[in-house]
Amino acid sequence: LAEALPLLTSLTSLKLRMNNFGAAPGADVMRAVCTLSALTALNMEGNAIGAPGSKVLAKALLQGQLPDLVHLNLSANALGPSEVEQLGGALATSSSLKELFLAHNSS
């Protein structure tokens, strides 16, 4: 999956919910997802990406790699307060995000 996603350059919506990738594989998938610059909706609910995956996403957002992202669901991803704070700082730079879900997170 991590190898195939970057080939889908025109993809605008991606739903990978409830796959329970875990931290390291979740970070690999998130790196691939962050190459999809046309993405407007991302649902990663229930994948336990934890700190590694959230750091990848936060860095990508700060670098403007997902400029058109409107909907983001990171519920149930084992994100603790520091991960949510880091993501919050990155998301604050986004002018496109309209909908954010972070339910059922804890480290």
Instruction: Give the integer Cα–Cα distance in Å for 68 and 84.
Output: 21
Residues above pLDDT 70, as percent of the chain:
99
Predicted structure pTM score:
0.95
Instruction: Give the integer Cα–Cα distance in Å for 9 and 21.
Output: 22
Look at residue 106 in the predicted model and tell me its pLDDT.
84
pLDDT digits (tens, 9 = 90+) for 34-65: 999 999 999 999 999 999 999 999 999 999 99
Look at residue 48 in the predicted model and tell me its pLDDT.
96
Q: Mean pLDDT of successive 10-residue segments in the chain (107 residues)?
A: 96 98 97 98 97 97 96 97 95 95 90
Look at residue 107 in the predicted model and tell me its pLDDT.
63
